[in-house]
Amino acid sequence: MDANRRNDPKWGYADDNSCGCGAIPQTMRPLLCCPLCPDTCIVEDLYNATDNAVCVAKYWASKI
């Protein structure tokens, strides 16, 4: 499962699928470097559970 807003309009959860920073659609890769998030990482960081990846995941866990 890819936790983002990409399919929210399709399922009636939101009017659009944009991120608060303006990225359209909100998908996983832009979430990793979104200017709204205090940390950034790359997909490989997620696979390796680096400190930055953990910070990014914690930030978005409370937002999505």
Q: What is the pLDDT at residue 33?
A: 87
Residues of the chain with pLDDT under 50: 1-2, 9
Measured CA to CA, the distance from residue 22 to residue 45 in angstroms comes to 24
In a domain? residue 1: no
Considering the domain boundaries, does residue 20 fall inside one? Answer: yes
- Is the bond preceding residue 35 a cis peptide, omega within 30 degrees? no
Position 38 in a domain: yes
Query: Residue 26 is part of which domain span?
Result: 8-61
The tally of domains found in the chain comes to 1
28 part of a folded domain: yes
Handedness of CA 51, 52, 55, 61 (dihedral sign): negative
In a domain, 53, yes or no: yes
Inside any domain, residue 34:
yes
The pTM of the whole model exceeds 0.85: no
